[in-house]
């Protein structure tokens, strides 16, 4: 498997994307899940759960809510109120 890297200009620097990454830069909405947890819904209707926060650069990382049930590998990197980066594609339809 070969890895293609694409340089995408963003602000004053370039982001190097791998072949399974998509630069999104879109807003999202939040909903409440079980046990009062925060979930996010992207512009396509997919739901994500928080994985962890990165204190170094204020990014948060989210996994698809169907990660366990459907073995979906899609994940998001969020900075501020924008979905910045999506890794992998969903293997199921939106909820």
What's the confidence (pLDDT) of residue 14?
Answer: 59
What pLDDT sits at residue 15?
Answer: 62
Q: Report the alpha-carbon distance of residue 9 to residue 35 in Å, rounded.
A: 40
pLDDT for 12-63, tens place per residue? Answer: 445 677 787 788 888 899 999 988 899 999 989 999 999 999 888 889 999 9
Instruction: Establish if 11 belongs to a structural domain.
Output: no
Count of domains for the chain: 1
Q: Residue 38's closest CA among 70, 47, 46?
A: 47
In a domain, 48, yes or no: yes
Structural domain includes residue 1: no
Let me know if residue 3 belongs to a domain: no
Please report, for the domain that includes residue 36, its CATH number.
2.20.25.240
Residue 94 counted as domain residue: no
Asked if residue 46 is part of any domain, the answer here is: yes
């Amino acid at each position: 498997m070969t890895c293609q890297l694409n340089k995408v200009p963003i602000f004053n620097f370039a982001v190097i994307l791998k072949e399974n990454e998509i630069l999104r830069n879109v807003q999202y909405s939040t909903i409440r899940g079980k046990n009062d947890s925060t979930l996010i819904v992207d512009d396509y209707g997919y739901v994500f759960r928080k994985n962890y926060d990165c204190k170094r650069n204020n990014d948060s990382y989210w996994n698809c809510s169907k990660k366990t049930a459907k073995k979906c590998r899609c994940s998001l990197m969020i900075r501020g109120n924008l979905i910045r980066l999506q890794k992998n594609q969903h293997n199921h339809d939106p909820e």
